Amino acid sequence: MDSKGCLEPMPLLVSAIELSLGVVCDFKPESLKVIETEINRVYPIGNEPMLSTIISYGVYLGEVFVRNVPGAFWGPYTGDDLLDLDIRIDRKEHSFVGYPLKRVLDFWFDRSLALSVYYQMNLDMLDGVIQPEASSA
pLDDT(3) > 60:
no
* DSSP codes of every residue in 42-78: HS-TTPPPPHHHHHHHHHHHHHHHHHHSTTEEEPPP-
CATH of the structural domain 3-126, one choice from 1.10.3470, 2.60.120, 2.60.200, 1.20.120: 1.20.120
Note the pLDDT of residue 114.
94
Rounded to 10°, the helix 100-109/31-42 angle is 40
For the chain, the structural domain boundaries read 3-126
**What band does 136 get if pLDDT is binned at 50, 70 and 90?**
very low
Q: How far is CA 57 from the centre of its chain?
A: 7
Note the pLDDT of residue 102.
95
